[in-house]
Chains A and B, each alone.
Chain A
């Protein structure tokens, strides 16, 4: 049995990434994500990997895509303004189907905002930050231990679906130190197959119902990779049929694999008539508030989205059909609230909201107060 070690959330992210096979990291210093770059610079050369501090956030994103294109698992980490700057190339990774992991340790915004204060204001940006319709997978951990395992999962999903994956952290978890017990026995790592495909020039070819191009980035292939709409050989085309099919496949490869991708946690929901919906660091506050409310006899539970995007739509809708009330708790002005409102279809289920945007952390008493406010 392994022993518990004290670790910071940001450090657990790097440990998970290296376990997942990350061998390249490009970054730019920005609070509160900087420890990830620092830790990556320390650890990567010890496993034969490479670290580079780029000249800016755009370049960091570009560099990890470049590295991934030549077969090296890659990650970058940023926060707030840096996440905005990365969006252009995140879109490129979506379009060109390049696996990579982008960590955003959220901080208060807009603009420079409160650089050291917790926030969860990038929920919608993480889904729709880059221009155009595009697929996106976003995961959000709520403990240091989970940060380790979710980072590994982020890499696995990126490889499996050939797409960028965002690990949406927040300062609450990124800067938190707690005991973590790493048990890698059950950890599965998805590696890139190295098929002998030298002569095949159609990296993006899909056949039948295939949604992920199996040959893409799988070998030493000489084909084109572009952010333009492209055919099976990766060469740009203005053909509307080809473009339409490509765009549809990109969306479908995530949408039609939700069963495989989506994860969530339910806590004390079995007999609950009230559900508090949350994600990331907020879950720590909500779980405590739920316990406090239970002690006072309230039938309340927690529903935590681990995969924020795609959202755990089905599970939440099902739950909403039998509860009277849903309270969305998040450190923003009501972003995931919009998704919950979209999902919930039951007119008898009331949706309330508790959010905070002043840079402080919501305390359990505040959540408890909303739970007890039966209107």
Chain B
């Protein structure tokens, strides 16, 4: 199956990807492509946008119109694309630093506007491309090359941040549970409004090594053994949720979509 997906959707000539052995990015990218395939999206009407960072290199491997943009700005580029041509499907692939640090403002405002784009947040809890600095999602107490004495920052929960900002579809997935994660991505793309799927990524090279999490297999095993459903997570205290990998839908609701609302203005005022 995977090989057919590669044939159909990847720029074969640019494979293999630049990612480290054991990196979770490839798994998440496969989930995205599988979701696109399941939905039968028109490749000529689908634009993939990414920012800067390890995971943002994903866009370049896909055989769509792909925009590898500037650090943090992927969601803003995507907003321009969707707003200018609402008939296009717009999917953003970006990392935790890209989306919640330098691009945090763009993320929350796109969520607030409820513009129909889908964001896949590759959350590996670290800045990988620059060599392992702590990110806004690095847990307190963990280590990074710029947190040699342990991270004293409080981390963001990207999914809950987006939900708080008004995202109308929010889900969490991981690298191990590919079937569930693929379905969550599929539902997110299908959703008419701003959707975000935060996927727990695996970075054995930097986050794993810095924090003694073992090798890639150990980190995948950790996801397998510590997964809880979104429903179960709701019933747990913050203390109980600590270290758990949540997989499932956080919220899904209806709200007028931005470009459709704008179309109503055009219909009203356009000079025929």
Contacts and interface: CB of A to CB of B under 8 A. Distances in A.
Chains A and B touch each other in the complex, with CB atoms below 8 Å apart: yes
Interface of A: 23-24, 26, 45-48, 50, 52, 54-56, 58-60, 62-67, 69-72, 74, 88-89, 92, 198, 201, 220-228, 235-236
**Which 6 A-B residue pairings sit nearest by Cβ, starting from the closest?**
A63-B80, A66-B80, A67-B84, A62-B76, A59-B76, A66-B77
Contacts of A60: 76
B229 interface: no
A226 B81 contact: no
Contacts of A89: 70, 73
A221 B271 contact: no
Contacts, number: 136
Interface of B: 11, 14, 43-44, 47, 49, 57, 59-60, 63-70, 72-73, 76-81, 83-85, 88, 105-106, 108-109, 259, 262, 265-266, 268-271
A246 to B, nearest CB: 15
Nearest to B47: A70
B141 to A, nearest CB: 32
A6 to B, nearest CB: 22
Most buried by A among B68, B259, B270: B68
Contacts of B84: 23-24, 50, 66-67, 70, 72, 74
20 contacts: A45-B269, A47-B271, A48-B266, A55-B105, A55-B106, A59-B105, A62-B69, A62-B80, A63-B83, A65-B69, A65-B80, A66-B76, A66-B80, A67-B83, A70-B47, A70-B88, A222-B64, A224-B11, A224-B67, A225-B66
Most buried by B among A52, A71, A224: A224
Given A50-B262, A66-B77, A71-B85, 11 more contacts: A48-B270, A58-B73, A58-B76, A66-B67, A72-B85, A92-B70, A222-B65, A222-B66, A224-B59, A226-B68, A227-B68
SS of A interface (majority): mixed
A223 B62 CA distance: 9
A94 to B, nearest CB: 12
A56 B262 contact: no
B69 A54 contact: no
Contact of A235 (B47, B60, B83): B60
Contacts of B108: 55
A236 B68 contact: yes
A204 B223 CA distance: 42
Nearest to A67: B84
A271 B259 CA distance: 60
Contacts of B259: 50
A54 B108 CA distance: 12
A24 B82 CA distance: 11
Contacts of B73: 58-59, 62, 88-89
B270 A92 contact: no
A47 B269 CA distance: 9
Contacts of B64: 222
A365 B68 CA distance: 53
B262 A46 contact: no
A70 B105 contact: no
Contact of B70 (A23, A50, A227): A227
A220 B88 CA distance: 12
Nearest to B73: A62
A158 to B, nearest CB: 15
Contact of A227 (B14, B69, B262, B265): B69
A228 to B, nearest CB: 7
Given A45-B266, A59-B73, A92-B69, A67 B80 contact: yes
Contacts of A50: 83-84, 259, 262
B12 to A, nearest CB: 11
A280 B78 CA distance: 35
Nearest to A228: B68
Contacts of A71: 85
A63 B70 contact: no
Nearest to B68: A226
B59 A54 contact: no
Contacts of B105: 55-56, 59
